[in-house]
Amino acid sequence: MTKLDTERKAVVLLSGGLDSATTLAIARDRGYRCYALSLDYGQRHHAELAAARRVAEALGAVEHKVIPLDLGQIGGSALTDHAIAVPEQAEEGIPVTYVPARNTIFLSIALGWAEVLGAWDLFLGVNAVDYSGYPDCRPEYIEAFQRLCQLATRAGVEGGSFRVHAPLIEMSKADIIRTGMQLGVDYGQTLSCYAADVSGRACGKCDSCRLRAQGFADAGVEDPARSRT
């Protein structure tokens, strides 16, 4: 494990899922003091926040903030609007589990906290290989937001340089799992389900559960997380 440099701080978006847990482990391994950020955004899979707390503690986050932000007020997604069912079959195009502008909203809050902390690095666990087709998970989106960081902040216009890290973006789900296991991630603490029950058991049917199951199968290891199926 890389020795931490007390001057290198990073804000890491942490949902409590497989990808964000691996991202936190990668940031820590790269020598950053990690400040984990989770958003309580009205998601129906609210149990993921308990998973985020477990992961943040297990992976040694310096601090873990959970900020309330009710995106259910605008709706438009199966994850925030209970009138829209979480699909159990793969969909064509961008699925109804897409939350409008979610990563832009989350990264903006992470950027604000980073500016306060004096941190120049933001980490998020987006993936453009084994993913659901969300537009804010693409490399060109990450590049665009990094440019925005320079334009939208006092720290940026005064000469600072922000970096947005998406270390999983070109990795398969199996490779993400293998990487996390090498870095000591306990995937039994994570939750990736869009329709988990209040105790944190995964449905085993939604798109996120299917991608996770395929990833563990491809990695040749058993998923330690709890499931209702």
Structure-block tokens of residue 125:
């666990």
Given pLDDT bands bounded at 50, 70 and 90, which one contains residue 44? Answer: confident
Window from 73-82, 133-142, 210-219 with minimum mean pLDDT: 73-82
Nearest to 204 by CA among 92, 86, 46, 30: 86
Give the pLDDT score at 90.
67
Give the pLDDT score at 82.
82
Q: How far apart are CA 164 and CA 44, in angstroms?
A: 28
Burial class for 14, CB neighbours closer than 10 Å (0-12, 13-18, 19+): buried
Give the pLDDT score at 215.
96
Contact at 8 Å (CB) between 51 and 187?
A: no
- Mean pLDDT computed over 154-180: 96
Q: How far apart are CA 82 and CA 87, in angstroms?
A: 12
Give the pLDDT score at 129.
80
Whose tokens are 């330690």? That residue is: 224
Give the pLDDT score at 88.
76
Contact at 8 Å (CB) between 56 and 27?
A: no
Nearest to 128 by CA among 120, 116, 118, 136: 136
Tens of pLDDT, residue by residue over 89-138, are 766 778 888 899 999 999 999 999 999 999 999 999 999 886 668 899 99
Give the pLDDT score at 91.
65
Is the pLDDT assigned to residue 143 strictly greater than 50?
yes
Q: Which domains does the chain have, with CATH numbers?
A: 9-219 (3.40.50.620)
Give the predicted TM-score (pTM) of the model.
0.92
- Chain-wide mean pLDDT for the chain? 91
Given pLDDT bands bounded at 50, 70 and 90, which one contains residue 83? Answer: confident
- Mean pLDDT computed over 76-95: 81
Percentage of the chain lying above the pLDDT 70 cut: 94
Is the pLDDT assigned to residue 5 strictly greater than 50?
no
Give the pLDDT score at 4.
40
